[in-house]
Amino acid sequence: MRSKGDFHTHTTASDGILTPTALVDLVASQGVVYHAVTDHDSTEGIAEARKAAAKYDGYTLIPGVEMGTDIEGAEVHMLGLFLNPDDPELQEALKTLREGRLGRGFGIVEKLRGMGIMIEWERVQAIAGEASVGRPHIAAALVEKGYVSKVAEAFDRWIGRNGPAYVERDKMTPAESVQFITKRGGLACIAHPADLPNMDTILGELTAAGMTAMEVFYKDYPPATVEMLRLAAERHGLLPLGGSDYHGIFGNEECLPGDIPLPDSSIERLLEMASKLPNRELIA
Ligand SMILES: [Zn+2]
Ligand SMILES: [Zn+2]
């Protein structure tokens, strides 16, 4: 199923493979016209994406970010939509988060080397280029050296959350990220929540903190999962959103932008909510 909206995508500003321009071109070719760029802890891709989006009639580019946060035993990703890339306080906080990623990436490479898996930190940094180093860059280095055949295999065997080479980093709590996003005038939406332990409790706490949306129509969630999440969104009064989480690194099976069963009603409600946000002028 194809939607007109996709509110979760990555570019070379974090661990996506496409430049912001190439991503917008792909998104537009998919018939998507409401598009959020949500790089990990970075808005560096927004300016270029905006320029590219201006070529397309009726294309609404929503500036966003995906913040990594921690709870006991799990990682929670929080999307911040309608954030202003020119906000110095936002940039200060994102810089701190990126420095945490760098330290964590180095720690993972050290752990791998301790296990006899000899990839070079310099090579991981080169693969990341201008982007902030993420685990997919480490995975790419592992593929390059022939230790695994696919990025996903690197996550499964070593660098996924429960993998032997995983390293934690200091992060905000999910509630702190919600408060941060709303204080900066944006809209907070929890990303890919299906696997969270005690999801309902977390959703309740984050809604109380000011979160107003959650991902329901996410990437390859099967229909039963989507339905379970749709009901949860209803229980908590959250706007059911979604996105492909497109990175371009997971090969042929990767969900393309807009290939999600996100209904038009979600897009309409989002635009309605956005029109009341402090940052409403950001919607181009
Ligand atoms: Zn995520
Ligand atoms: Zn993502």
Instruction: Give per-residue pLDDT as tens, 67-115.
Output: 988 887 788 999 999 999 999 999 999 988 888 888 889 999 999 999 9
Of the listed ranges 18-22, 104-108, 240-244, the least confidently predicted one is 104-108
CA of 77 to the centre of ligand 1 (A): 5
CA of 168 to the centre of ligand 2 (A): 18
CA of 234 to the centre of ligand 2 (A): 23
Q: What is the pLDDT of residues 124-135, one digit of tens each?
A: 999 988 777 889
Neighbours of ion ligand 2 (CB under 5 A): 66, 245
For the chain, give the mean pLDDT.
93
CA of 120 to the centre of ligand 2 (A): 25
Compute how many other C-beta atoms are within 10 angstroms of the C-beta atom of residue 267.
18
pLDDT of 277 reads 87
CA of 14 to the centre of ligand 2 (A): 10
CA of 245 to the centre of ligand 1 (A): 7
Measured CA to CA, the distance from residue 48 to residue 31 in angstroms comes to: 20
The ligand placed nearest to the CA atom of residue 14 is 2
Q: What is the pLDDT of residues 159-200, one digit of tens each?
A: 998 899 998 877 789 999 999 999 999 999 999 999 898 999
Measured CA to CA, the distance from residue 2 to residue 33 in angstroms comes to: 12
pLDDT of 51 reads 97
pLDDT of 101 reads 81
Q: Which residue has the higher pLDDT, 27 or 98?
A: 27
Q: Which residue has 């661990």 as its token pair?
A: 15
Q: What are phi and psi of 169, to 5 degrees?
A: -140, 160
- Integer angstrom CA distances of residue 228 from 202, 215, 267: 15, 12, 20
**Total-model pTM:** 0.84
Measured CA to CA, the distance from residue 193 to residue 65 in angstroms comes to: 17
Task: Measure the CA dihedral 219/220/226/230, to 10°.
Answer: 0
pLDDT of 189 reads 98
CA of 191 to the centre of ligand 1 (A): 6
CA of 174 to the centre of ligand 1 (A): 13
CA of 66 to the centre of ligand 1 (A): 7
Q: What is the pLDDT of residues 193-213, one digit of tens each?
A: 998 989 999 999 999 999 999
Measured CA to CA, the distance from residue 37 to residue 55 in angstroms comes to: 16
Mean pLDDT throughout 40-67? 96
The ligand placed nearest to the CA atom of residue 76 is 1
**Side chain identity, residue 253:** E
- Integer angstrom CA distances of residue 43 from 67, 88, 95, 185: 11, 12, 10, 15
CA of 26 to the centre of ligand 2 (A): 17
Share of the chain above pLDDT 90, in %: 81
Neighbours of ion ligand 1 (CB under 5 A): 77, 191
CA of 23 to the centre of ligand 1 (A): 18
Q: What is the CA radius of gyration of the chain?
A: 18
Measured CA to CA, the distance from residue 169 to residue 28 in angstroms comes to: 36
pLDDT of 72 reads 76
Greatest alpha-carbon span in the chain:
54
Report strand pairing: 213-218 vs 60-71.
unpaired
- pLDDT for residue 225 is more than 80: yes
Measured CA to CA, the distance from residue 22 to residue 171 in angstroms comes to: 31
Q: Which residue has the higher pLDDT, 97 or 6?
A: 6
- pLDDT for residue 284 is more than 60: no
Mean pLDDT throughout 140-168? 94
Of the listed ranges 144-153, 158-167, 196-205, 244-253, the least confidently predicted one is 244-253
pLDDT of 190 reads 98
Closest CA to 43 of 168, 140, 181, 135: 181
